[in-house]
Amino acid sequence: MIVPFVDLKRQYLSIKPEINNAIESVIEDTAFVRGKYVTDFENAYAEKYGVNHCISVANGTDAIYITLKALGIGLGDEVITVANSWISTSETITQAGAKVVFVDIEPDYFTIDVSKIEEKITSKTKAIILVHLYGQPAEIDTIKDICDKHSFYLIEDCAQAHFASYKNQKVGTFGIAGTFSFYPGKNLGAYGDAGAIITNNGELADKMRMFANHGSLKKHKHQIEGINSRMDGLQAAILSVKLPYIDEWNEKRYHNALLYNELLSDVEEITVPKIRPNATHIFHVYSIRTNKRDKLQTYLEGNGISTAIHYPVALPFMQAYKYLGHHSEDFPVAYQYQNEILSLPMYPELSTTSVYYVVDKIKEFFKQ
């Protein structure tokens, strides 16, 4: 049996006529960049989040960068973020001109360890970028308290957490802005690159739109220098078709995760992911831990099962951050976990039969 890590084709086939119609309409209307399909998607996304503004951009990395720039974060500032994430979260801090300050992850939930934030605060700290990693909300209450106490901006990187919630409130709506990626493999994925920012702050929304559009809100009136970061009509139309399905798809992922958890609960050598109380985890990634990770991965591969590692090297230990001079002891949990984590196949269309097959092969590996 072949179990791919993700299967984007199956999702496409389930909504093919709608998608194909949407693509044809965009082409018929030659609405290739920005335009009505983009505005329609922005409105639908803002409405589903219950926020005032959605600013579409070219990708999830730009969404973070534009947020930092619009907030005026730059040279001389420090931004606190988490040691285990995709590099977009931290590289954009540097690109804005500020200094990246990493914090270790908490052992149970893979998100930022809130007990280790205060010790990283200096007079230069301006913001905290949270990552709801794997689709699991970070411990927002405590982080919000810290941000309120020190007047820091709270930015939520929701690239892996579309419509995840914490205490019945959707993540992305707790801070000054929430940033999203619609990279094809994300829970809500386009058929190319796309991203968005949500906020309730109108002044900030204008600044973001302006910065993302060469520094202008009106054609040929460039108030500042900006960048070119825009969503194209095809991606917007595809995302508008997919948006009504996202809750159902997230639920299916969640059920697959619960099934994995249940079936793997008696495998001593494995730690299955925990779900934070009061949070809705949308399982962008289903990551187990085991100290036989590499051998298990090879065994599964040999049995037709594709897996992945999110991420094999935690950010502070990357060559790109060598200049910060970090050691393994500075981020002990992230350091340990990078050798133990293994992401199993996870997507809404993953069949129960496939989950059982993956689990059987894992059990077989540990019995030999």
Nearer to ligand PLP, 195 or 226 (CB): 195
Residue 111 found at the interface with ligand PLP (CB under 6 A): no
Nearer to ligand PLP, 77 or 193 (CB): 193
Residue 196 found at the interface with ligand PLP (CB under 6 A): no
- Contact present, 66 and 57 (Cβ < 8 Å): yes
User: How buried is residue 320: exposed, middle or buried, by Cβ count under 10 Å (0-12/13-18/19+)?
Assistant: middle
- Specify the pairing of strand 286-289 against strand 341-344: antiparallel
Nearer to ligand PLP, 159 or 231 (CB): 159
Residue 37 found at the interface with ligand PLP (CB under 6 A): no
Task: Figure out which of the listed residues 85, 125, 199, 213 binds ligand PLP, where binding follows CB under 6 A.
Answer: 85
Closest to 177 (Cα-Cα) out of 263, 73, 101: 73
**How far apart, in whole angstroms, are the C-alpha atoms of residue 131 and residue 152?**
16
- Report residue 229 as tokens: 């970061």
Give the 3-state secondary structure of residue 217: strand
Bridge partner residues of 286 (DSSP): 344
Residue 61 found at the interface with ligand PLP (CB under 6 A): yes
Residue 287 found at the interface with ligand PLP (CB under 6 A): no
Give the 3-state secondary structure of residue 224: coil
Strand runs labelled E in 121-202: 125-131, 153-157, 165-166, 169-170, 177-181, 195-199
- Contact present, 103 and 83 (Cβ < 8 Å): yes
Residue 195 found at the interface with ligand PLP (CB under 6 A): yes
Nearer to ligand PLP, 90 or 271 (CB): 90
Tell me how far, at minimum, the Cβ of 267 lies from ligand PLP, in Å.
28
Nearer to ligand PLP, 242 or 361 (CB): 242
Buried b / exposed e over 53-69, threshold 16 CB at 10 Å, is: bbbbbbbbbbbbbbbbb
List Cβ<8 Å contacts ≥24 apart for 301-307: 303/1, 303/361, 304/1, 304/2, 304/3, 305/3, 305/344, 305/345, 305/357, 305/358, 305/361, 306/3, 306/4, 306/5, 306/345, 307/5, 307/342, 307/343, 307/344, 307/345
Tell me how far, at minimum, the Cβ of 158 lies from ligand PLP, in Å.
8
Bridge partner residues of 234 (DSSP): none
Residue 160 found at the interface with ligand PLP (CB under 6 A): yes
Residue 338 found at the interface with ligand PLP (CB under 6 A): no
Tell me how far, at minimum, the Cβ of 253 lies from ligand PLP, in Å.
15
Please choose, out of 31-39, 85-93, 297-305, 316-324, the segment that lies near ligand PLP by the rule CB under 6 A.
85-93
Q: Scanning residues 114 to 143, which ones bind ligand PLP (CB under 6 A)?
A: 131
User: How buried is residue 219: exposed, middle or buried, by Cβ count under 10 Å (0-12/13-18/19+)?
Assistant: exposed
Task: Figure out which of the listed residues 11, 67, 88, 173 binds ligand PLP, where binding follows CB under 6 A.
Answer: 88
Nearer to ligand PLP, 113 or 157 (CB): 157
Residue 260 found at the interface with ligand PLP (CB under 6 A): no
Please choose, out of 81-89, 147-155, 264-272, 354-362, the segment that lies near ligand PLP by the rule CB under 6 A.
81-89
**How far apart, in whole angstroms, are the C-alpha atoms of residue 305 and residue 299?**
9
Tell me how far, at minimum, the Cβ of 185 lies from ligand PLP, in Å.
8
Please choose, out of 83-91, 103-111, 147-155, 232-240, the segment that lies near ligand PLP by the rule CB under 6 A.
83-91
Q: What is the largest CA-CA distance in the chain?
A: 69
Nearer to ligand PLP, 86 or 365 (CB): 86
Q: Scanning residues 306 to 325, which ones bind ligand PLP (CB under 6 A)?
A: none
Tell me how far, at minimum, the Cβ of 312 lies from ligand PLP, in Å.
15
Interface with ligand PLP by CB under 6 A: which residues?
59-61, 85-86, 88-89, 131, 157, 159-160, 181, 183, 193, 195
